[in-house]
């Protein structure tokens, strides 16, 4: 008889994504065993992930591993893992700012730090990229509050706000803000701006691919010629962006840009990298917003000339349009050198605990834990 084993797990929506959240101590320590466990828990590989918790899409096939931190000034460490739905692979090659939004509530719910009466700042170390973020979680009476009036595009209804401040995310995956050393490069005859301000992103002009840039994600995913062209460029960008062979990596993200349509700074459609995002990733949006203020970049040339604060330093808000609305990035920019340096970025997310209990996987994994 094959029994099942139960592992403590919380399901949270973080921003516009959804993940299984685990305490590190509940997972196998050895990487191969951990990944085998997570694939079984998620139901991967299977495009529908029908025999597991995954939702059959990269945005709903994510994992957060959290533990109390021993780093000075940090409350918790957060490791993000992307489980590919259709391939037996687990990747730690990127951050996820959406799932980051659930880390504060998860840590507080699990007693990893004490909750204040009011708002609790949670200092989070992002293991994937060796960087830091602070999330501000509403905790009236010392209890996490999920209800509120904050609205983020891509999520129905309103919820309690979680403000996240990032410090020092520039070059966190590729080593520098402009990983190729240039504001623009030409690859396969197409101009591209590569930026890493927390997420490696290639900014491209949608019109260079014969599309408007306002198509739906489904329309773009159905366009196999477009997908092929975008992927060819991505594979060439891997080594140029210091990411090596990116065949099996989830970065760089490929953002096809068009002029803003709804009063924002720029419009985006982002391959992440094979499915098209229904909105845009958090750090992906920070990187695109950064590209908007880089003189001569693909984004700056397409973006709205009246992007608030553009070119004149200090604090600014950049509204990044995406398939389901807007993403507002607040940035502080130092314009004292040739290229602007984004010294701080902040954004608004919401998160909600959906389930807390045990996830079940076949007993076969017990010997690995
Ligand atoms: O860019 C999707 C998401 C993400 C990542 C992706 C993210 C980020 O929306 O920080 O949030 O680009 O793979 O969850």
CA distance 369 to 362: 13
Place of tokens 């720029």: 266
| Among 329, 244, 358, 369, residue whose Cα is nearest residue 6 | 358
pLDDT at 312: 53
| Contact predicate 298/257, CB 8 Å | yes
Place of tokens 């062979």: 245
What residues form DSSP beta bridges with 18? 13
How far apart are the CA of 271 and the centre of ligand 1, in A? 11
How far apart are the CA of 202 and the centre of ligand 1, in A? 14
The complex's ipTM works out to 0.95
Ligand 1 nearest-atom number relative to CA 58:
13
pLDDT string in tens for the chain (369-residue length): 668 999 999 999 999 999 999 999 999 999 999 999 999 999 999 999 999 999 999 999 999 999 999 999 999 999 999 999 999 999 999 999 999 999 999 999 999 999 999 999 999 999 999 999 999 999 999 999 999 999 999 999 999 999 999 987 999 999 999 999 999 999 999 999 999 999 999 999 999 999 999 999 999 999 999 999 999 999 999 999 999 999 999 999 999 999 999 999 999 999 999 999 999 999 999 999 999 989 899 999 999 866 654 445 568 889 999 999 999 999 988 877 777 788 889 999 999 999 999 999 997 654 444
Q: At 221, list the tokens.
A: 């995913």
Residue to probe by mutation, ligand 1, list 13, 17, 20, 275, most atoms within 8 Å of CB: 17
Ligand 1 nearest-atom number relative to CA 199:
1
| Contact predicate 13/102, CB 8 Å | yes
| Among 21, 1, 17, 19, residue whose Cα is nearest residue 9 | 21
Count of alpha carbons within 13 Å of 247, Cβ hemisphere only? 1
Which residue is closest in CA terms to ligand 1's atom 7?
281
| 325-334 vs 341-349, strand pairing mode | antiparallel
Residue to probe by mutation, ligand 1, list 277, 285, 327, most atoms within 8 Å of CB: 277
CA distance 299 to 278: 20
Which residue is closest in CA terms to ligand 1's atom 9?
281
How far apart are the CA of 231 and the centre of ligand 1, in A? 18
**Taking CB atoms and a 6 Å cutoff, what residues make up the pocket around ligand 1?**
16-17, 58-59, 95-98, 199, 250, 253, 272, 277, 281-284
Full-model pTM: 0.93
Ligand 1 nearest-atom number relative to CA 284:
1
The set of residues, in sequence order, having a beta carbon less than 8 Å from that of 36 and lying 6+ positions away, is 365, 368
| Contact predicate 38/88, CB 8 Å | no
Which residue is closest in CA terms to ligand 1's atom 4?
281
The set of residues, in sequence order, having a beta carbon less than 8 Å from that of 18 and lying 6+ positions away, is 11, 12, 55, 59, 60, 62, 354
Ligand 1 nearest-atom number relative to CA 253:
12
């Amino acid at each position: 008889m094959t029994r099942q084993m139960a592992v403590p797990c919380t399901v949270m929506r973080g921003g516009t994504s959804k993940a299984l959240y685990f305490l590190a101590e509940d997972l196998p320590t050895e990487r191969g065993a951990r990944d085998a466990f997570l694939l079984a828990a998620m139901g991967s590989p299977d495009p529908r992930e029908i025999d597991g918790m995954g939702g059959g899409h990269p945005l709903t096939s994510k994992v957060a591993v959290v533990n109390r931190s021993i780093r000075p000034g940090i409350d918790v460490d957060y490791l993000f893992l992307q489980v590919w739905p259709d391939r037996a692979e687990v990747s730690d090659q990127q951050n996820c700012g959406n799932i980051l939004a659930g880390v504060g509530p998860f840590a507080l719910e699990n007693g990893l730090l004490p909750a204040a009466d009011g708002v609790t700042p949670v200092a989070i170390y992002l293991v994937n990229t060796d960087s830091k973020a602070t999330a501000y979680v509403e905790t009236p009476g010392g209890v996490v509050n999920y209800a509120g009036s904050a609205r983020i595009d891509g999520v129905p209804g309103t919820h309690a706000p979680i403000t996240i401040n990032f410090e020092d995310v520039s070059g966190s995956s590729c080593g520098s803000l402009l990983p190729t050393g240039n504001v623009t490069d030409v690859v396969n005859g197409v101009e591209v701006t590569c930026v890493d301000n927390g997420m490696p992103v290639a900014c491209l002009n949608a019109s260079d691919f014969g599309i408007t840039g306002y198509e739906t994600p489904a329309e773009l995913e159905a366009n196999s010629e477009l997908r092929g062209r975008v992927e060819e460029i991505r594979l060439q960008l891997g080594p140029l962006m210091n990411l090596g062979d990116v065949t099996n990596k989830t970065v760089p993200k490929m953002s096809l840009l068009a002029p803003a349509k709804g009063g924002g700074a720029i419009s985006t459609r982002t391959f992440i990298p094979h499915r098209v995002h229904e909105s845009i990733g958090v750090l992906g949006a920070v990187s695109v917003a950064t590209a908007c203020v880089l003189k001569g970049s693909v984004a700056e040339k397409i973006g709205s000339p009246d992007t608030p604060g553009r070119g004149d330093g200090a604090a600014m808000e950049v509204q990044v349009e995406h398939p389901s609305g807007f993403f507002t990035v607040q940035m502080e920019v130092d314009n004292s050198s040739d290229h602007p340096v984004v010294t701080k970025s902040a954004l608004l997310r919401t998160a909600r605990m959906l389930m807390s209990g045990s996830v079940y996987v076949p007993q076969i994994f017990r010997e690995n834990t």
